[in-house]
């Protein structure tokens, strides 16, 4: 699996599909999904107002990006209630997420799920948990092991979260060694900065 880590925001990540999530009890939309909604001229907010999108647990809504972000399609995943969101709930949803991605035949995925102090989830650990859960899905879908190994995952939540995400990916890579080959791709200047840190 190739993992591309960028300093750019999520809307500037090229991919076939952007996976993001919303809560059923958080309005207005915040974080990355709020930014995506803004780039889509409030399309997600309108769908919420029309009750065509609710944010209920495991709800799936596929939306074309209409060229407003670099990803071609957006998969909005319902995350349930904010207070129930955790690393454990995400881990529990991963078989469902993997099955959805497999059915969509996604080859290049951009991931942007909620993180931050208000959710008690940081983006580095979130990335690690996602990769571990994805790898565990190899056991459930052995016929799709080549699909998962060839999947390209793009991650980018802005420059301020770059090293946090990189650390999460490196941690997952060391944990998953022998189970899932991971190649990390980053801008070269970031690797130089990382090697110079004490």
Q: Say what the pTM is.
A: 0.90
pLDDT digits (tens, 9 = 90+) for 9-56: 999 999 999 999 999 999 999 999 999 999 999 999 999 999 999 999
Average pLDDT for 97-116: 93
Instruction: Read off the tokens for 126.
Output: 């979130």
Is residue 191 scored above 60 in pLDDT?
no
Q: What is the pLDDT of residue 75?
A: 97
Query: How many other C-beta atoms lie within 10 A of the C-beta of residue 63?
Result: 17
Q: What is the pLDDT of residue 193?
A: 46
Torsion of CA 134, 89, 65, 50, to 10 degrees: 150
Q: What is the pLDDT of residue 192?
A: 47
pLDDT digits (tens, 9 = 90+) for 139-189: 777 777 788 889 999 999 999 999 999 999 999 999 999 898 999 999 865
Check which CATH number belongs to the domain holding 144 and give it.
3.40.220.10
Domain that holds residue 109: 2-196
CA 51 – CA 30 distance, rounded (Å) = 18
Is residue 82 scored above 50 in pLDDT?
yes
pLDDT digits (tens, 9 = 90+) for 123-147: 999 999 999 998 887 777 777 778 8
Instruction: Report the half-sphere exposure of 24 (CA within 13 A, side-chain side).
Output: 16
User: Sheet containing 2-5: which strands, arranged edge to edge?
Assistant: 60-64, 73-78, 17-22, 108-112, 152-155, 2-5, 183-185
CA 139 – CA 124 distance, rounded (Å) = 24
CA 144 – CA 72 distance, rounded (Å) = 23
Query: How many other C-beta atoms lie within 10 A of the C-beta of residue 64?
Result: 12
Average pLDDT for 82-88: 96
CA 177 – CA 175 distance, rounded (Å) = 6
Is residue 198 scored above 50 in pLDDT?
no
Q: What is the pLDDT of residue 195?
A: 45
Total number of domains constituting the chain: 1
């Amino acid at each position: 699996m190739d993992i591309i880590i960028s300093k750019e925001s999520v809307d500037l990540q090229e991919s076939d599909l952007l996976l993001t999530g919303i809560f059923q009890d958080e309005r207005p939309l915040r974080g990355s999904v709020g930014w995506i909604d803004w780039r889509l001229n409030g399309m997600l907010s309108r769908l919420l107002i029309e009750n065509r999108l609710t944010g209920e647990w495991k709800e799936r809504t596929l939306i074309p990006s209409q060229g407003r972000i670099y990803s071609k399609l957006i998969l909005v995943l319902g995350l349930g209630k904010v207070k129930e969101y955790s690393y454990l709930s995400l881990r529990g949803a991963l078989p469902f997420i993997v099955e959805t991605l497999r059915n969509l035949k996604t080859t290049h995925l951009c991931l942007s799920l909620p993180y931050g102090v208000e959710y008690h989830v940081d983006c580095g650990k979130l990335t690690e948990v996602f990769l571990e859960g994805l790898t565990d899905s190899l056991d459930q879908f052995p016929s799709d092991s080549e699909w998962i190994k060839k999947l390209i995952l793009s991650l980018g939540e802005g420059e301020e979260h770059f090293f946090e995400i990189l650390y999460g990916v490196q941690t997952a890579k060391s944990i998953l060694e022998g189970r899932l080959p991971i190649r990390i791709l980053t801008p070269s200047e970031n690797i130089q900065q990382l090697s110079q840190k004490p």
